[in-house]
Structure 1
Amino acid sequence: MAPSHPDHGSHPLTNDQSAAIDAFLAEREDELLALVSDLIAIDSQIPPHADERQIVSFLVSVLEEANLAEDVSVVGQTPERPSLIARVKGTGGGQSLMLNGHTDTKPVGEAAHLWRTDPHTATVVDGNLFGLGATDMKAAVACMILAARAVRETGVQLRGDIVFGFVADEEAGAQLGSKFVAPLIDNVDAVLIGEPSGWEHDWQGIHLVSRGVCGFRIKVTGTQMHSSLSDRMPSVNASLKLADLMVRIGSELDLPFTPHPLGGVGPTLNTGVMIAGGTFFGVVPGQAEFACDLRTVPGQTREQVAQGIETWLDACRVADPDLQVDYAFEPGLDWIPWSELEAGHPLVAVVTDAASDVLGEAPPLGVFPGGTDAPWFSQQGIPTLPSFGPGTLTCAHGPNEFVSVRSIHEAARIYARIIANFCS
């Protein structure tokens, strides 16, 4: 849980301190890109493709070499899915900040042939660094480490602690990552997550909200039988029934919500993110199902979603007596909560000031399109900013993922200012 300190204001860096931090980072631009490249070279795709053991071991060695490993813990429900928690202690009496990033990536997947470079070899082309996990979110992890080094090695005195939270399993629902780690966190006043904060361009917003994730499947039962008899005997083709439901669910499923004040954002339903059904040629499909990915907004509940699905399916059954349909929530992805940080929280002001100083103008406050690890920390009472990091979400989870080199260097400068001002 977050401790209470008498002083919750920020103490801005002096011009000389900011200049010293920038000079430190400018001298180590190649070193920063090399660290991003080293992280990309380590295969940390979610199982069964890989796991986080090697990347966590590497990060421990990086922190030790940088003298940022005063108090290190490697924790996890299983040895294959470790998370790293490290604390760099301040002088005492100040606010402590966790810098959070996930170490896993989505699989390269069926788009492997569309990559123009080796996914596990960082390659710079036209000012962009390509590689699996480049924007989501190995660049941010590297920037957090270099930023902390810059603050420490330029002599900025911190009263609060810097805490690194480099966690597993974000890409598969966080059950073995932040959901497990968050209850173990103590003496942290706020969390900053470095998820890429743009989708059309870098630094598109300071995101105070991350939408929740709700995964469910619609399952149809038909008549499995010899397909040559479908014109002579009664039969129900489960795949055809399923296709009709897939077309209709987007416009017919009623899920009440209140548009969020930051941009009027509502939920997003992605239908058919996976489809399965049928047995083989010669067989009328007896089973078919499709999966839905629902991104929820503050105020929505799992119970409301369940009621909405049940009400819609009841209406479908009444309209079609031959329809046998049911639904099921996806284990582990049935309800990843949304998260929200109050605009008046001190971390928001510190992030806004740091971004303005480096970028010339602070991005607007907004809602992150996706889900993050934020809810697991906020549910433990730790205020969490869900997304402010280099890169764009648009290229994540697909071929040719990249992060702009410029945004990497900007992120290190921004994070250093955030650390110095929040933890001072």
Structure 2
Amino acid sequence: MTRELSDTTRAVAADRKAVFAAVDALRDDMTSVLSDVISIPSVNPKYPGQSYDDVVGSEGRVSDLLGEIYQDAGAEVEKWAVEPGRTNAVGTISGTGGGKSLIFNGHVDVVPPGNADRWTSGDPFSGRIDDDRVWGRGASDMKAGLVAQAFAVKALARAGVRLQGDLIIEAVVGEEVMDHECGVSSTLERGYRADAAVVAEPSGPTTLGVIPVTPGLLWFSVTIGGKTTHSSMRGQTIRAGGGGSSVGVNAIDKGMLVFQALQRLEEEWAFTKTHPLFAPGHFTIHPGVVTGGPHGVLVPFFLSEYMTIEYCVWYPPQDDPENVKREIEAQIDAIARTDGWLREHPPVVEWKLNWPANNPGEAAADITAAVSAAHVAAAGNTPYAGPATVAGFCAVEDCSFLTNAGVPAISYGPGDLRVSHADDEYCLIDEVHTAAKTYAALALDWCSPSTV
């Protein structure tokens, strides 16, 4: 038995060495393909501010390109679009039997580049290659990870390795606006399931970290009404001896009461909402957009009739979103009861979105350990050497929908959230290279090399 185990260990080590050598040999090709993929402006057509008809189609071009790589690696590729032009591509490398199955997943859509004049690196979709990095919108989020996964699978084929378990690799649309029905959820509906999944979201600011949990995200608005009159009557509405609300009410004044109340709740959350894999204070109530004024005439010569604040709420993985909603509504109700106008004209809360947290718990323990071990093997003596940091993801991602469908999902990928969605987005070539080796090592370990 000891000799058999020794022979197996040597065989696995030989396979890993061959696969790592194949990744090394493919490095320049991988960098070139990454540049090509970045140069495709695959902006999500449903992203706010976009003209759908002008933008739609580029996501599909990225999926088509990646699908060719999957096919070259020996995968059976299926492509489909829930909406025309928004193609998903999934490759399946069927195992010989007996091993665990694995999904590699990533999204092809990117956010708009913003003001191109602020990009000192050049055209936001240049895909420019420098000595150590590749520039462009989507480089970090998350085309680097998609390409690293694709070339990991290609390296397995180049090394002549067959696996016992099925390996599924996915390029999906829609993630940037939670359009999961068009993307990752449609893969699940078509039957693509496995014992675990790894999504190639950028791990940073934890460099090449292993990410088993994400927060949840709520979007809501709160609207406060007022009563307009001439702005010269402000003193009458706020000073003792004036007519008060019988004359007018400035909605912005009342809205600031709500703003400050939610700010106090956010400060409480620094102590009441915590998680061991997140930095203290990570869970917040972010006032992202404020609008207000007199209806139809945005000049300051009237008392404002309305004020609307759009909030983005980051809540801990273990929290029930319905409880979070009730907590926020209770805070708004409490401040409204302290003000005569708001008691009679309560603020109106509208809940617009809940992106569920990813919290697979013990179901993801094995895949978390496997990715951590694969990283150590792949990083070698590189700057990424040593145990990977296990941390919570700062934002949200498609892991949630995989986990909720019964496929325990975590993430690991090249890139940095601090440059994602920012001007001069980039990814480091060495990081992409190391990630590709990690994915390849993971597939070997998780799906088990075949002796057939």
TM-score, normalised by the number of residues in structure 2: 0.83
What is residue 3 of structure 1 aligned with on the other side?
none
Query: What letter corresponds to residue 102 of structure 2 in structure 1?
Result: L
- In structure 2, the CA distance between the partners of 1:316 and 1:407, relative to structure 1 (3 Å rule), is same
- In structure 2, the CA distance between the partners of 1:288 and 1:82, relative to structure 1 (3 Å rule), is farther
Helix, strand or coil for the counterpart of 1:285?
Answer: coil
- In structure 2, the CA distance between the partners of 1:334 and 1:219, relative to structure 1 (3 Å rule), is farther
What do the CA deviations read for 1:318-355 (whole angstroms, capped 9, x no partner)?
1112234121111xx23433333438733222211111
What is residue 187 of structure 2 aligned with on the other side?
181
1:131 aligns with 2:136: yes
Distance apart, 1:296 and its partner CA: 1.7
What is residue 330 of structure 2 aligned with on the other side?
311
Q: Distance in 2 between matches of 1:14 and 1:120?
A: 40
What is residue 7 of structure 1 aligned with on the other side?
none
Helix, strand or coil for the counterpart of 2:204?
Answer: coil
Query: What letter corresponds to residue 286 of structure 2 in structure 1?
Result: T
Query: What letter corresponds to residue 268 of structure 1 in structure 2?
Result: F
Distance apart, 1:272 and its partner CA: 1.8
- In structure 2, the CA distance between the partners of 1:358 and 1:59, relative to structure 1 (3 Å rule), is closer
* 1:21-100 matched pairs, under 5 angstroms: 21-47=19-45, 48=50, 50-51=55-56, 52-64=59-71, 66-76=72-82, 78-100=83-105
Larger radius of gyration: 2
Q: Identify which of 223, 226, 237 aligns with 2:227.
A: 223
Helix, strand or coil for the counterpart of 2:14?
Answer: helix
- In structure 2, the CA distance between the partners of 1:344 and 1:226, relative to structure 1 (3 Å rule), is closer
1:259 aligns with 2:274: yes
Query: What letter corresponds to residue 103 of structure 1 in structure 2?
Result: V
What is residue 405 of structure 1 aligned with on the other side?
429
1:164 aligns with 2:188: no
What is residue 357 of structure 1 aligned with on the other side?
377
Helix, strand or coil for the counterpart of 2:160?
Answer: coil
Contact 2:218 2:312 in 1 (8 A): yes
Identity among equivalent positions (%) equals 27
What is residue 285 of structure 1 aligned with on the other side?
304
* 1:340-351 matched pairs, under 5 angstroms: 340-342=360-362, 345-351=365-371
For structure 2, list consecutive stretches of 5 or more residues without a partner in the other structure. Answer: 1-7, 238-246, 380-384
What is residue 113 of structure 1 aligned with on the other side?
117
Q: Distance in 1 between matches of 2:393 and 2:203?
A: 7
What do the CA deviations read for 1:212-264 (whole angstroms, capped 9, x no partner)?
11111111111234434444562222223223432331223566966323357
Helix, strand or coil for the counterpart of 2:227?
Answer: coil
Q: Distance in 2 between matches of 1:92 and 1:137?
A: 32
Contact 1:102 1:166 in 2 (8 A): yes
Distance apart, 1:147 and its partner CA: 0.4
Q: Distance in 2 between matches of 1:44 and 1:129?
A: 17
What do the CA deviations read for 1:355-390 (whole angstroms, capped 9, x no partner)?
1112231213221111111111111111111x2101
Q: Distance in 2 between matches of 1:373 and 1:312?
A: 31
Query: What letter corresponds to residue 60 of structure 2 in structure 1?
Result: R
Distance apart, 1:168 and its partner CA: 1.2
Helix, strand or coil for the counterpart of 2:284?
Answer: strand
Query: What letter corresponds to residue 112 of structure 1 in structure 2?
Result: A
* 1:373-392 matched pairs, under 5 angstroms: 373-385=398-410, 387-392=411-416
1:336 aligns with 2:336: no
For structure 1, list consecutive stretches of 5 or more residues without a partner in the other structure. Answer: 1-9
Helix, strand or coil for the counterpart of 2:335?
Answer: helix
Query: What letter corresponds to residue 42 of structure 2 in structure 1?
Result: S
What is residue 299 of structure 1 aligned with on the other side?
318
What do the CA deviations read for 1:186-216 (whole angstroms, capped 9, x no partner)?
44111001111121x522x211111111111
Q: Distance in 1 between matches of 2:161 and 2:222?
A: 56
What is residue 348 of structure 2 aligned with on the other side?
326
Q: Distance in 2 between matches of 1:280 and 1:335?
A: 33
Moved segments of 4+, more than 4 Å: 10-13, 253-258, 263-267
- In structure 2, the CA distance between the partners of 1:19 and 1:304, relative to structure 1 (3 Å rule), is same
- In structure 2, the CA distance between the partners of 1:178 and 1:53, relative to structure 1 (3 Å rule), is same
Contact 1:13 1:417 in 2 (8 A): no
Contact 1:196 1:391 in 2 (8 A): yes
Contact 1:271 1:290 in 2 (8 A): no
What do the CA deviations read for 1:93-137 (whole angstroms, capped 9, x no partner)?
22111101011111223x433211211011234622221011110
Helix, strand or coil for the counterpart of 2:418?
Answer: helix
Q: Identify which of 192, 196, 199 aligns with 1:190.
A: 196
Q: Distance in 2 between matches of 1:379 and 1:302?
A: 15
- In structure 2, the CA distance between the partners of 1:82 and 1:406, relative to structure 1 (3 Å rule), is same
What is residue 5 of structure 2 aligned with on the other side?
none
Q: Distance in 2 between matches of 1:301 and 1:21?
A: 43
Helix, strand or coil for the counterpart of 2:311?
Answer: strand
Q: Which of 142-151 and 50-59 deviates more? A: 50-59
Helix, strand or coil for the counterpart of 1:123?
Answer: coil
Q: Distance in 2 between matches of 1:13 and 1:198?
A: 34
TM-score, normalised by the number of residues in structure 1: 0.88
Helix, strand or coil for the counterpart of 2:287?
Answer: strand
What is residue 206 of structure 1 aligned with on the other side?
210
Query: What letter corresponds to residue 370 of structure 1 in structure 2?
Result: A
Distance apart, 1:160 and its partner CA: 1.1
Q: Distance in 2 between matches of 1:162 and 1:215?
A: 36
1:245 aligns with 2:252: no
Q: Distance in 1 between matches of 2:281 and 2:359?
A: 14
Whose helix fraction is larger, Structure 1's or Structure 2's?
2
Contact 1:21 1:154 in 2 (8 A): yes
Cα root mean square deviation, aligned: 2.4
Distance apart, 1:87 and its partner CA: 1.0
Contact 2:222 2:308 in 1 (8 A): yes
Helix, strand or coil for the counterpart of 2:354?
Answer: coil
Contact 1:295 1:371 in 2 (8 A): no
Q: Distance in 1 between matches of 2:224 and 2:10?
A: 60
Q: Distance in 2 between matches of 1:23 and 1:161?
A: 23
